[in-house]
Amino acid sequence: MKTYTIISRGDSLSEELSRQTEAELQEHGYTRNDLQPDTVFVIGGDGTYIRAIHEVLRKAGKWFSNVCFYGIHTGTLGFYTDYRDKDYREFMDSFFNNELREKKYRLLQMTADGMKHHAVNEVRVENPYRTQIIEVYINGEKFETLRGSGVLVCTQLGSSAFNRSLGGAVIQEGLDFIELTEMSVIHHSLFRSLQSPIILKPETVIEFRSNNFSGAVLACDQDTYSLEGLHSFTVSSAKDINVRVLSGREVSYFDRLKTLF
């Protein structure tokens, strides 16, 4: 059965395109299913796209592996979409004419004491109250001890987001790496850390340890969680889950990148 759901940014333009999209899908025999859709139409910006992935992942459970995301940007061109609102007709015709390609992207996975959370862009630890001391282990080997406001791990997709604002490297599309970037880390003669982002293989497992995470917040994209009572957790690429994205016309990665500056 051809099923869909629509997730919108909620502004007037996005809502109007949502209504138009729904009407056309219904006319073509598609059935709305908000719990287990085949296709998720995302109408908004990159933030809406990430929110949609998290929302569907929570609702769909194991069905998530069957879901494809297809988006149109109601602003400037984003990293997750190939069409702007003015391209609406091409956006829908490409879907109905089956002129789309599928891309798969890995999610990040955070695990600790039976807890598991996922992220599209990044997993980060931030402590706004005090200097956070974190021991970093890479594939079981002690790498560094850092002291600062926190640390971030991002995907290739997330490398141009918060990671970039921290001075991290932007990873070109198609390079399936993860990146570790320190946040406002303190350095002096008694203790130092790498003081540079490091790009790692996708199969790398990073463990963060601390005697005290009190006051620190774990953020998986826009979702936040307390670290109270925890002393360690791991971040790695998820092995059993990918995001399936439908892509229409070819848009240069560097054209997308240039919209950032």
Local confidence pLDDT in tens for the 261 residues of the chain: 599 999 999 999 999 999 999 999 999 999 999 999 999 999 999 999 999 999 999 999 899 999 999 999 997 767 889 999 999 999 999 999 999 999 999 999 999 988 899 999 999 999 999 999 999 999 999 999 999 999 999 999 999 999 999 999 999 999 999 999 999 988 876 778 888 999 999 999 999 999 999 999 999 999 999 999 999 999 999 988 999 999 988 888 888 888 777
- How many CB atoms are closer than 10 A to CB 140? 7
Quick one: CA dihedral 50, 55, 57, 58, positive or negative? positive
Residues with Cβ within 8 Å of residue 189, at least 6 apart in sequence: none
- ∠ CA 151-168-163, rounded to 5°: 60
> What does the pLDDT read at residue 1?
57
- The 3 state secondary structure assigned to 121-167 is CEEEEECCCCCEEEEEEECCEEEEEEEECEEEEEECHHHHCHHHHCC
Determine the Cα–Cα distance for residues 109 and 234; give it in Å rounded to an integer. Answer: 8
Q: Which residues contact 193 (CB under 8 A, 6 or more apart)?
A: 136, 144, 145, 146, 147, 182, 185, 187
User: Which of 202, 197, 161, 193 has the alpha carbon at shortest distance from 180?
Assistant: 197
The pLDDT tens digits of the residues spanning 70-107 come to 999 997 767 889 999 999 999 999 999 999 999 999 99
- The Cα 157–Cα 161 span in angstroms is 8
Annotated catalytic sites, by residue? 46
Query: How is residue 194 written in tokens?
Result: 């790498």
The pLDDT value given to residue 11: 95
**Amino acid, res. 257:** L
SS3 assignment, position 21: helix
Instruction: Report the distance separating Cα 228 and Cα 118, nearest Å.
Output: 19
Q: Which pLDDT score, from 0 to 100, does residue 147 have?
A: 94
Q: What is the pTM of this model?
A: 0.93
**pLDDT, position 114:** 81
φ, ψ for residue 128, nearest 5 deg? -80, -5
Sheet holding 217-220, edge to edge: 198-200, 178-183, 150-155, 122-126, 217-220, 223-226
Q: Can you name the CATH fold of 3-99? A: Rossmann fold (3.40.50)
Domain ranges of the chain: 3-99, 107-240
Q: What is the model's pLDDT at position 77?
A: 62
Residue 196 gets which letter from DSSP?
S
Considering the domain 107-240 in this protein, what is its CATH number? 2.60.200.30
